[in-house]
A = this chain, B = another copy of it.
Amino acid sequence: MAGIGGEAKRIKLVVAYEGTEYCGWQVQPNGITIEGVLNNALSKMLGEDIQVIGASRTDAGVHSLGNVAVFDTRAKIPPEKICYALNQRLPEDIVVQSSCQVPDGFHPRRCYSEKTYEYRTLNRKIPIPTLRRNTYFYYRDLDLMKMQQAAGYFVGEHDFKSFCSVRSSAEGTVRTILSCTVEKISGDIIIFRVTGTGFLYNMVRIMAGTLISVGIGEIAPESIPEILKKKDRSAAGPTAPAHGLTMIGIKYGGGNI
């Protein structure tokens, strides 16, 4: 347990995890979550009741290289060293990449940020076992150029209601996408990468599922603007499976954040 009694400080963590074994980020009554594991480990380590606030509340099975969480502590441990001490108490599928102090008012969901996600599809006839946890296997031929063309239509400020799970209670559904690309890397992996200032519930997975529908010719690339205009979830493609999705990282505007 670290010494308590210092000034209250707000600490920002960059958190990487493999989501396979977790019921997502957010604490829930039945099931182990990333947030829950972090709260327990931090509370035990610092001797305070810690509850982190996460930036991206990823679904069950979604992975992360750079999700962000903040919490307040009076512990005297230097902020930059928290990640090393914390990693000793975390399972090997959750690893904090860095820790630092941020201004007290910093909130990881309310401050302006640019979030990047990647959706990986393994497009070949037979699966590759070493990729099965973080790449969605899809055996029908995907037309890369059509997917790239379709992805271009997502860039800009649009109402993404058609790309939002109907379970969502979000009021405003207008979001801004800063970049959206599709590329193929060796080993038949198609990577859909999207950066935006905000995302609706399941939005990236519905975009990925729609791009796959474009890739097999079920949706024409040039019909994306029309699908956006309809503001109807049923106009877009299916929600792609969670395990293909990785939260890559979040850029905040402020100086030391």
- Residues of A whose CB lies within 8 Å of any CB of B are 16-18, 63, 65, 83, 87, 92-98, 126-130, 132-134, 246
Contact = CB atoms under 8 A, between A and B. Distances in A.
Q: How many copies does the complex hold?
A: 2
B130 A63 contact: yes
A3 B226 CA distance: 54
A132 B246 contact: no
A127 to B, nearest CB: 5
24 contacts: A16-B128, A16-B129, A16-B130, A17-B129, A18-B129, A18-B130, A18-B132, A63-B129, A63-B130, A65-B128, A65-B130, A87-B126, A92-B127, A92-B129, A92-B132, A93-B132, A94-B129, A95-B127, A95-B129, A96-B126, A97-B126, A98-B126, A130-B133, A130-B134
Contacts of A130: 16, 18, 63, 65, 133-134, 246
A33 to B, nearest CB: 15
A133 B97 CA distance: 18
Nearest to A134: B130
A126 B127 CA distance: 30
A132 B95 CA distance: 11
A9 to B, nearest CB: 21
A129 B93 contact: yes
Nearest to A124: B97
Nearest to A187: B65
A17, A63, A94, A129: residue with the most chain B Cβ atoms closer than 10 Å: A129
Nearest to A65: B128
Nearest to A20: B130
A90 to B, nearest CB: 9
In order of increasing CB-CB distance, the 9 nearest A-B pairs are: A18-B129, A93-B129, A18-B130, A95-B129, A95-B127, A97-B126, A17-B129, A63-B130, A130-B134
Contacts of A94: 129
A34 to B, nearest CB: 11
Nearest to A130: B18
A126 B17 contact: no
B134 A83 contact: no
A130 B63 CA distance: 8
